[in-house]
Amino acid sequence: MILKKLVSAVALTGSAIVIARSVFKLPKTQGRVNTIALPKAMSGPLAEALIDLEAEHKGLTGVTPLQNSADAFAVRILLADAAVTSIDAQYYMWHADMTGTLLLGALVRAADRGVRVRLLLDDNGTNGLDADMAALVAHPNIEVRLYNPFNLRTLKTLSYAFDFFRLNRRMHNKSFTVDGRATILGGRNVGDEYFGTGSTPLFVDLDVLAAGTIVAEVVADFDRYWASLSSYPAQAIVGVNKDTDPIGERLANFRADPQMGKYKAILEDSNTVSALIKGELNLEWTTTLLVSDDPAKGQGAVPKEDLLVHRLKEAVGDIQTRFDGISAYLVPGTTGVKTFADLQARGVTVRMLTNSMEATDVLPVHAGYAKYRKKMLKSGVTLFELREKVAPCAAASRLGLLGSTGASLHTKTFAVDGQRIFVGSFNFDPRSTKLNTELGLLIDSEQMAQQLHTVFDEGMVGLTWRVKLSGNKLVWIDANTGLITTSEPGSSVMRSFILAVVKRLPVEWLL
């Protein structure tokens, strides 16, 4: 009898899911027109600044890190304002806050000048933007597409109930390309917390500005995602609205915000783009490799050789002496722990930095990390955890490639053997490896790699906790004061309970 009821319940649940999918089904993508990248701009400030430089450094990429969060915002705005032919932007999250609205305003200004704008957004990060997107697609020079859109627009998360496995796969890529001449790649989404303002905890992050050979590859990769089966024209999801201007209205409301004055000053003070246009920006011209997941990953499993993690491992090759990595979310799993242990056994020094419990913005992910913490330490890995509040002794200059001080780590980067550095969207966790699509740049740069190694060499005094084993117990050490604590920073009875529960649940593949 119980089995019969269970079978009936499963059948009813399955029927409900089928009905829900048919009622809230997504539009078909057949018959859509897939625009492709425009040729490189041959005129305009970026072209005039870069044509000769690219000729002098044929086959190479010019890179410079964007460490400061406010400047990273300013560079995006100023590049958009310099555009003459095209802007292709691809993001996991784009918030309807001040910086998000200012950047949308810059895209509209560009489109008004005749620039073609293509905006590809993962729909998981578009909350509050439906009206904005409906207005954007009404512009003749703007196209918007949504990656793996949610079936429901109100109470979006309810869509997981009947379309979980598709919606659990997200596009985590971040790129911002202007005129086919300059691009920004890295870990930052678009929102106040990524650009150093707002009431939410700020994120420590890293991008690179690149010109030269790699830009054409970034644009081609954008085209691949733009035309993928997971990308839907936004107008089919949110409609078209020519009658209102939600972006302009929100910008008007922000004029009274004191932060608006601050960001106007940042735009005026930022000299990165002006130096680029004048040919005075100190770009390092070198070889780079773009690594990107196949967008089909959003539809389901793809062959191992098409995964970013596999291509990245092949590109890095044999590691000889040291591997220093920063990952906001570090859930190595059994395979990752073994990889680290094998490196240590071969004499390679492995050091990792991630968020502490007090700094993390996703507690379940910290539980996944905590599950492997002792195993990593026993294998010889050196572990640092970012503090929520930096100590007074932590001078900004000590941050190096970590950027400006902040409350939560969002950086995804690693350096190998003082020769190469990776900057991108990839975290050392199962979600980045198997579920989300990711994008990043492997750069041959002794300068940038050594900068990151130096951050670890100096112990990040005042910025992090050094985690060690004392017997079989974890201790957290403040390198500034020498204070040793056996109580995890940021822990509480409730948080410890949540960690204990999550560590025992079979959810690691979701983290």
Q: What are the catalytic residues? A: 172, 174, 179, 410, 412, 417
Other C-beta atoms lying within 10 Å of the C-beta of residue 131: 18
In this structure, are residues 225 and 431 in contact, taking their beta carbons and an 8 Å threshold? no
- Report phi then psi at 422, rounded to 5: -110, 135
E strands, 417-490, where? 420-424, 439-444, 464-470, 473-477, 484-485
What whole-number distance in Å separates Cα of residue 433 and Cα of residue 306? 11
Residue 252 neighbours by CB under 8 Å, 6+ apart: none
Of the candidates 409, 322, 396, 397, the residue with the CA atom closest to the CA atom of residue 360: 409
**Six token digits for residue 251:** 């910008």
**Six token digits for residue 173:** 């890529």
Q: Round to the nearest angstrom and report the end-to-end CA distance of the chain.
A: 38
Other C-beta atoms lying within 10 Å of the C-beta of residue 228: 23
E strands, 114-189, where? 116-122, 142-147, 175-178, 182-186
In this structure, are residues 388 and 490 in contact, taking their beta carbons and an 8 Å threshold? yes
